[in-house]
Amino acid sequence: ETQVKVVRNLQPSAVERVQWRLTFVRDTASVYSDRMITVEMIGAGSFQQCSQTIVVAPPPVLPSDFVLTCSTRDTIVYKQQTSQYDPAPFIIKAEIRNTGSTQLTGIRGTIAPAAEIALEPGETLTKSLGVNLDPGQTAAISWNCRGIPQSATTTARSQISVEADGSLLRQCQVETVLYHPPSNDSADARTGCFATVDSIRCNSSSGGWDPNPFTVSLRITNTGGVSLTQVTALILPDSYFALDAGEPSSKMLTEPLQPGNSVVVSWVLKVIAAPADGTAGVSFETSFREIATQFCVTEFYIERACQIIQLSIPDDNVGVMGETVKVPVILNNPHNVTLRDLTIAVHADPQLVRLNDVTLDGTVLQDWPEPVIDEPASGVLRVHASSDQFATASGTLMYLHCTLLPQSGHDGNFGVLVVPLTFMHEYHAFQEGVMAITKDGRIIMSGVCVEPLVSDEYIQLNNRPNPFNPVTTIRYHVPQDLDGRHGVLEVMDAHGRVVRTLVEGRLKSGTHDIVFDGNGLATGMYLYRLRAGNRMVTRKMMLSK
């Protein structure tokens, strides 16, 4: 791509679109921020420009969280010569990965060894990791263990619990086969199933589950005295899971499984839905030519999916001190999340703006009952709305009715103040599994009028109300020296395409009003431009349906 592009020989009334392909490179913003792209056009003796603002949303701050993965040897073998299992000792390990956005502190692990497993002398049941983990870091806690001699082949199951930050707790289980070689030529086997995690949790940054996909495995151990052949493993996941692309449900070992040996067969699964009670299972069947089919089941906890909605307040709300303006709260619901219950809160400086009321006369909640509103803190308006009529569309969620309070020293034509409107996340609440990312807005307030029409030397342009739905009045002023000159008043979308031409022809000097009806146009930002002679003025307005 080149920064400058040339359009040659543009004929009258012809339209030529110039495009650039841009790549977002890097942004270190930790709050919502605006990044502007400006395009300049020079030609036919004139200079024009337009701009597009892109809102950069920071990644949502995740709560503290971690993933726990436990591992150990599949099999230890009993040696008649020493009356001990080999190897001895062996290690049981708990690996902790910080998947949150804050540092993990106070990390410690506790092992509950199986009755067939003993800790080595000097080992303690509970161990501290000894270090804090920054986001993304991984560390492990290990225990040295040995098998307690048994009379026959046994499967030992040890439990590990890891806690952090004084409240987070994760658990996992490891299996070790204590294998006794048979004294005869009998055929036998043991199977055990496990996964890299036992809990699949919601990741608010991606709006899905983490980890997803993940790995589940089946361990098959030949505990007999002869080789096992035609060993076939079949996975049967609940309907909440799906095999990853290319994964077959049935897998056969390519070689016979020799006595005392173990093999692990793995599959990659994806979560596609969450059960109401959070518990889902995966079953396995293992068939052999020599012995009967064996079965194994492992269960998981699946947290309800985090479904993301986006809330925003426009930043071009305009009003005059003393009047009440309707400020839209816009819902962007790209994934059609079903809303049935919500609580949001907005703050404005109570010295500048009084948040009076909320109405649901937008396009999303217009059939819902009247909301319940209160003021949990100074300048904060909290809104609770619920209905048995679910809402899934994008559009104007509600309107905030804001009275702009008169300010001493700002009662003249050019007294302008900018008042931020800020979402207060600590008061937000949605039904389970739904969370919101937000973009704050603002109100621009003035003493008399935002665009004062008091001078006969300049073109003047203004509209009210702004935002509007669907009708607004555009007022324009033509100075005396442009009387009778050709002019055009037109409305364009955010991409600069003309959607309506309101005035075209010879202009009369003075102040004029014209009504603009936005029916048939989509909600969003529009530009309106007055060109007269060699002069031009452009303003913005917001259509909020």
Residuewise pLDDT in 10s, the chain (545 residues): 878 888 877 888 888 888 888 876 655 455 556 677 878 777 665 667 777 767 666 555 456 788 888 999 889 999 888 889 999 999 999 999 988 778 899 999 999 999 999 999 999 999 999 999 998 899 999 999 999 999 888 999 999 999 998 878 888 889 899 988 877 678 889 999 988 788 887 765 555 677 888 999 999 999 888 999 999 999 999 988 899 888 999 999 999 999 889 999 999 998 877 787 788 999 999 999 999 999 999 998 887 656 778 899 988 787 778 888 899 999 988 777 778 889 999 999 999 999 999 999 888 998 899 999 999 999 999 999 998 888 888 889 999 999 988 876 544 444 567 899 999 988 888 876 677 888 899 888 776 444 433 344 567 788 888 778 889 999 988 888 888 888 999 998 877 788 999 999 988 888 899 999 998 898 888 889 888 877 778 888 888 76
Report the distance separating Cα 375 and Cα 383, nearest Å.
Answer: 9
Q: What are phi and psi of 155, to 5 degrees?
A: -105, 120
Report the distance separating Cα 530 and Cα 545, nearest Å.
Answer: 25
Q: What are phi and psi of 56, to 5 degrees?
A: -100, 115
| Whole-number pLDDT of residue 452 | 39
Answer whether 0.75 is exceeded by the pTM: no
Parallel/antiparallel/unpaired status of strands 168-179 and 75-79: parallel
Give per-residue pLDDT as tens, 269-306: 988 777 877 889 999 999 999 999 999 999 988 876 56
- For the 309-446 domain, the top CATH level (class) is mainly beta
Report the distance separating Cα 372 and Cα 382, nearest Å.
Answer: 8
Buried b (16+ CB within 10 A) or exposed e, 2-24: eeeeeeeeeeeeeeeeeeeeeee
| Whole-number pLDDT of residue 420 | 93
Report the distance separating Cα 486 and Cα 507, nearest Å.
Answer: 6
Parallel/antiparallel/unpaired status of strands 498-506 and 535-543: unpaired
| DSSP letter assigned to residue 525 | E
**What does 223-277 look like in DSSP terms, one character per residue?**
-SSS-B-S-EEEEEE-TTEEEPTT--SEEE-SS-B-TT-EEEEEEEEEE----TT
Q: Residues 372, 421: contact at Cβ < 8 Å? A: no
Backbone Cα Rg of the chain: 34
Looking at the chain, the number of H-run helices and the number of E-run strands are: 0, 41
| Start-to-end Cα distance in the chain | 37
**Number of other CB atoms surrounding residue 87 within 10 Å:** 12
- CATH code for 460-543? 2.60.40.1930
Q: Residues 293, 239: contact at Cβ < 8 Å? A: no
Q: Residues 284, 278: contact at Cβ < 8 Å? A: no
Give per-residue pLDDT as tens, 44-78: 656 677 777 676 665 554 567 888 889 998 899 99
Report the distance separating Cα 59 and Cα 286, nearest Å.
Answer: 44
- Of the candidates 476, 485, 479, 469, the residue with the CA atom closest to the CA atom of residue 528: 476
Tokens representing residue 500 in the block:
């309506």
Q: Which CATH code of 2.60.40.10, 3.30.1490.20, 3.30.70.360, 1.20.120.1080 fits the domain covering 66-302?
A: 2.60.40.10
Torsion of Cα atoms, 74 then 77 then 83 then 89, to 10°: -40
Report the distance separating Cα 498 and Cα 514, nearest Å.
Answer: 17
Q: Residues 402, 349: contact at Cβ < 8 Å? A: no
Report the distance separating Cα 97 and Cα 64, nearest Å.
Answer: 11
**Where does CATH 2.60.40.1930 sit in the chain?**
460-543
| Whole-number pLDDT of residue 458 | 61
Parallel/antiparallel/unpaired status of strands 189-195 and 324-332: unpaired
Single-letter amino acid code for the residue at 369: P
Exposure of 43 by Cβ count < 10 A (0-12 exposed, 13-18 middle, 19+ buried)?
exposed
**What does 412-460 look like in DSSP terms, one character per residue?**
STT-EEEEEEEE-GGG-EESTTEEEEEE-EEEEEESS-SS----SSS-E
**Number of other CB atoms surrounding residue 145 within 10 Å:** 25
Q: Residues 283, 373: contact at Cβ < 8 Å? A: no
**Where does CATH 2.60.40.680 sit in the chain?**
309-446
**Where does CATH 2.60.40.10 sit in the chain?**
66-302
Q: How many residues does this entry show for the chain?
A: 545
| Whole-number pLDDT of residue 91 | 96
Single-letter amino acid code for the residue at 116: E
| Whole-number pLDDT of residue 450 | 40
CA distances from 178 to 53, 81, 160, 189, 219 (A): 65, 16, 19, 12, 14
Single-letter amino acid code for the residue at 278: G
- Of the candidates 467, 325, 343, 466, the residue with the CA atom closest to the CA atom of residue 400: 325
- Token pair 């290990």 is found at 142
Q: Residues 434, 427: contact at Cβ < 8 Å? A: no
